[in-house]
Structure 1
Amino acid sequence: MFQLAEEGHGGKRIAHELNQQNIIEGKRWVLSTVLAILNNLVYLGKRVWNKKSDAGGEQNDVSQWIVAENAHPAIVDQQLWDATQASLSARKINKPQ
């Protein structure tokens, strides 16, 4: 997923690719799931607390997050993570309104 995103593919395209490969038999990948994974710091080996407020479950500002570095072995290295995030950000900026 991260490599496809790094190469410039969007969430819909990645979901389509995963569905074509039948990665999870009997289940379909959707855009929201792909984007949730691509934006989840757990893949960098980090653990995050205080992402959402208790009341209403709204997301807190990033400055309020508590992030534990090296909480477990990373699945994705920092270079791939950064490239993926840059590609996703570029897609958001260039997205037609």
Structure 2
Amino acid sequence: LSSALTKGHWVNGKAPYGYEYSYKTKRLVPDTAGNPSPSEVVQSIFNDALNGVSTSDIAYKLNRKGILSPNGSHWTSTTISRILHQEVYLGKTIYGKSSGSGHKNKKTTPLKFKDKSEWIIVNNAHPALISEEVFEEVQSQLNRRKKL
């Protein structure tokens, strides 16, 4: 295992919404710029989901407040759902979820998603924005809703 991985350094490309990449520590730090800041927006998304607000209603609420999504445009239920499923907000950095590339035009090894047992998970790699309890409860609510 490379030392960058075991130290929890961020090597997965662009920092996820709610975080910034620190070149000094090579880790993620909460993005606290703005009012509300992206890290506060992530926390409010989880809190709303915890309180049973649907992903489309969360997106609608953020759009009404004029808060821009990670790509600088409108929020969608898909964007909200992606944020709610990311363990990165627990302070974890996960390596090796997939191998290969899904690139359309380059000849590369086909993209394969690996079994969770093969992932390398580094806990406490950066400050968590969400507690384990909140995250788990939101996951079980999302799973229950999916089955309806």
> Same fold by TM-score, threshold 0.5 exceeded?
yes
Percent sequence identity over aligned pairs: 35
Compute the TM-score of the two structures, normalised by the length of structure 2: 0.58
Tell me the SS of whatever aligns to 1:12. Answer: helix
Give the AA of the match of 1:35: S
Structure 1 residue aligned with 2:37: none
Provide closer, same or farther for how the CA distance between residues 79 and 56 of structure 1 changes in structure 2, counting only shifts above 3 A: same
Cα distance in 2 between the residues matched to 1:45 and 1:89: 22
C-alpha contact (below 8 Å) 1:8/1:88 kept by paired residues: no
Answer 1 or 2: which has greater helix percent.
Answer: 1
C-alpha contact (below 8 Å) 1:44/1:78 kept by paired residues: yes
Give the AA of the match of 1:93: K
**Offset of 1:15 from its aligned partner?**
1.1
Compute the TM-score of the two structures, normalised by the length of structure 1: 0.85
Cα distance in 2 between the residues matched to 1:58 and 1:4: 33
Deviations 1:1-52 (CA, angstroms, capped at 9, x unpaired): 0011111222222111111111118610112211111111110000001112
Structure 2 residue aligned with 1:13: 57
Q: Which runs of 5+ in 1 are unaligned?
A: none
Cα distance in 2 between the residues matched to 1:20 and 1:83: 26
1:29 to 75, 81, 94: 75
> Are 1:89 and 2:135 matched, yes or no?
no
Give the AA of the match of 1:79: E
Tell me the SS of whatever aligns to 2:99. Answer: coil
Query: What is the aligned-residue RMSD (CA, Å)?
Result: 1.7
Cα distance in 1 between the residues matched to 2:95 and 2:124: 14
